[in-house]
Structure 1
């Protein structure tokens, strides 16, 4: 036998009346008149051919039919409400998609990301990594953190971090060498080199800044990624040339030490970049403001610890 589907309002009336055993309270709960509830119940009884309520001298009593149907209707209404709330939450909780260099993600952003979630639990961050600036529309990216000069035509850019570059090694590494007294002495120890990367400071530039002209580097292990070079340095395999943003936490934890007091500012800095049209969206503004605050803390920490080095350069 096929039964016609009842009106949604009639189902609510039945569930409410069955719970209250009172048409007046059911009407108040559903913001309708008592006669409307009575009419909806009568419509269900006629539609299904089932008696739903007995009407003793005082109040209402559920028939066996209503005792079977009311819990099913209550579960249906609860499930429907829960599903609608979930769907609305999913629509409202759109993730912020952030793209950046892998090295910056691993060594700087990810260790701090919990603080953003604590401040903004309503915003999910989805991270992707690329070495080059992505196309925001085709890659589905909202904002990017890039290492450069800040000149990104058609995009809004915000300076986050200026960097300094210096040699680092494990705390035990210098114990194997007695002659690490001045920058030129690094030419006699294993240097951890990066594969060609024009945006990354090179050893030749650092040696020139340190007053060592025409430095000739010995061939050694080369890495395609900053994180690999730093990991090798932590394991005592040699001296790596590091960006301050990448090693602040490792220096503080004692995993690495800085060598020499040569101030070598990087020619490029970290910028938050996004399309002009979306730069003032609340999610973007919240993430940008948080990044600026975290970058300021990181810069202050670097300024406090910049003089904490293993061996200062000799005065010339």
Structure 2
């Protein structure tokens, strides 16, 4: 393959339409341009230019090569710009629980990128405990009671849980209010194992006694639980942030207007030595959660 600098000289000659103008752009002599073009033609075994008295003109082979060379040089320039930009850019590693990450955080990341284009995000998903001293994690979002050893925890608003299901499920079981709760004994409860099972407490808040569901389907990931609910497989308890977008889209509904305030909630976590980019992301998450909760339809 010919040397790469020959293609650069060829591209300059094509764009300028003159060996002299190409030489001026490349800061070399016109004879050097002519020699490099000749070397490229010899290497390829074809003529690339027709030398006319006052101008040069691409041959059929030259025209074919020109488009490929220009495209390749643009790709190289873009790659170099990308590398240079990332070299000077902070990349935050954000580790979110699967449910809140997929159902709430991802859709809101563009607003953070717009506010802080100098900060990149590597988004990970996990329910495991976070060790900021040993793991390459800058920010985490977890459900819990606020006790996260080795982390500075900021609660994302007051949390309450309420039942959600698909519209078809609600209509099938005629579940429209407190008076219809007895039908729950005929349906499947959907439960995510990372959260405590608070159905008995919620039923008490709704003024109803304990109910034995027909079956319980367990999930380790809230995203899977919500998908099962959206498909009409059963009913689950959820907090608002986790289902905000599902409720707005109509994939899920709240069939009974009763909520149970819980001690747990979602928290955004940073390490004790967190740097400014992580603190900016924490503040942005807090603001987004506050906005979501304040704009909740009542």
Whether these two folds match at TM > 0.5 is: yes
Which SS does the other structure have where 1:134 is aligned?
Answer: coil
Trace 1:1-316 onto structure 2 (pairs within 5 A).
Answer: 19=24, 62=29, 64-65=31-32, 68=35, 87-178=83-174, 181-182=177-178, 184-194=181-191, 196-197=193-194, 199-213=195-209, 215-224=210-219, 225-278=221-274, 280-281=275-276, 283-302=277-296, 304-305=297-298
Q: CA RMSD in A?
A: 3.6
Q: What TM-score do the two structures reach when normalised by structure 2?
A: 0.69
Q: What TM-score do the two structures reach when normalised by structure 1?
A: 0.65
Alignment partners' CA distance in 1, 2:142 and 2:215: 29
Aligned in 2, Cα 1:175/1:67: closer, same or farther, shift over 3 Å?
A: closer
The C-alpha deviation readout for 1:210-249, integer Å capped at 9, x for no partner, is 2223x13224241313222222222222222122111111
The answer to whether the Cα contact below 8 Å between 1:173 and 1:236 also exists between their aligned partners in 2 is yes
Alignment partners' CA distance in 2, 1:117 and 1:179: 42
The answer to whether the Cα contact below 8 Å between 1:99 and 1:145 also exists between their aligned partners in 2 is yes
Q: What's the offset of the Cα at 1:148?
A: 1.8
Q: What's the offset of the Cα at 1:120?
A: 2.2
Aligned in 2, Cα 1:236/1:276: closer, same or farther, shift over 3 Å?
A: same
The answer to whether the Cα contact below 8 Å between 2:176 and 2:256 also exists between their aligned partners in 1 is no
Alignment partners' CA distance in 2, 1:202 and 1:87: 50
Structure 1: gaps spanning 5 or more residues: 1-17, 27-51, 53-61, 70-79, 306-316
